[in-house]
Chain A
Amino acid sequence: MNTHPQYDEDFELYELGVLDGTDKAELEAHLEGCPECRARLEAARSRVALFALGAPAVEPPPGARDRVLEAFRAQGPKHREAPVSERRSRWNPAWGWAWAAACLVLLVAAVWLARQNHRLSRKVAELELSQKQLDASRRNLQAAAARAQAVLDVLNGPQTVQVDLSPASAKPLPHGKAFYNRGRGLLFYAANLGPLPSARIYELWLIPTEGKPVDIGIFNTDTQGNGQVILPSLPQGLTAKAFAVTIEPAGGVPAPTGPMVLVGPVS
Chain B
Amino acid sequence: MDPMSGREPNLQDSDEALIRRMLRGEEVALGILYDRYGGRVYSVAKRILQDNGAAEEILQDIFHQLWRNAANFDSGRGALGSWLLVMARNRSIDRLRRRMPAATDEVAATLHKPGPDIESAAARNEMAERVRAALQALPEAQREAMELAYFEGLTQSEIAQRTGDPLGTVKTRLRTALASLRAEFGE
Contacts and interface: CB of A to CB of B under 8 A. Distances in A.
Contact of A55 (B44, B60, B63, B100): B44
Contacts of B127: 50, 53
Contacts of A32: none
A110 B7 CA distance: 43
Interface in A78-99: 78, 80-81, 83, 85
Interface residues of B, number: 75
Given A49-B89, A52-B88, A58 B46 contact: yes
Given A13-B178, A18-B155, A111 B102 contact: yes
Contacts of B111: 42, 45
A9 to B, nearest CB: 5
B175 A9 contact: yes
A222 B31 CA distance: 111
A93 B82 CA distance: 40
Contact of A69 (B27, B93, B115): B27
Contacts of A83: 60-61, 64
Interface residues of A, number: 50
A81 B131 CA distance: 36
A129 B108 CA distance: 28
A215 interface: no
A46 B82 contact: yes
A114 B178 CA distance: 31
Given A52-B44, A55-B151, A65-B38, A71 B56 contact: no
A48 B131 CA distance: 10
Nearest to A115: B102
Interface string B133-157: 0010000000000100111011111
A147 interface: no
Interface string B107-118: 100111111101
B149 A18 contact: yes
Given A47-B185, A49-B86, A52-B44, A60 B38 contact: yes
A125 to B, nearest CB: 14
A67 B60 contact: yes
B125 to A, nearest CB: 9
Contact of A52 (B55, B89, B113): B89
Interface of B: 23-25, 27, 30-31, 34-35, 38-40, 42-44, 46-48, 52, 55-57, 59-61, 63-64, 67-68, 78, 81-83, 85-86, 88-89, 93, 100, 102-103, 105, 107, 110-116, 118, 124, 127-128, 131-132, 135, 146, 149-151, 153-157, 159, 174-175, 178-179, 181-182, 185-187
22 contacts: A9-B178, A12-B178, A20-B155, A43-B113, A45-B82, A50-B85, A50-B116, A51-B135, A52-B43, A52-B85, A53-B85, A53-B118, A55-B47, A60-B56, A64-B42, A68-B38, A68-B60, A69-B30, A71-B63, A83-B61, A85-B60, A114-B100
Interface of A: 9, 12-13, 16-21, 39, 42-43, 45-61, 64-65, 67-69, 71-73, 76-78, 80-81, 83, 85, 110-111, 114-115, 117-118
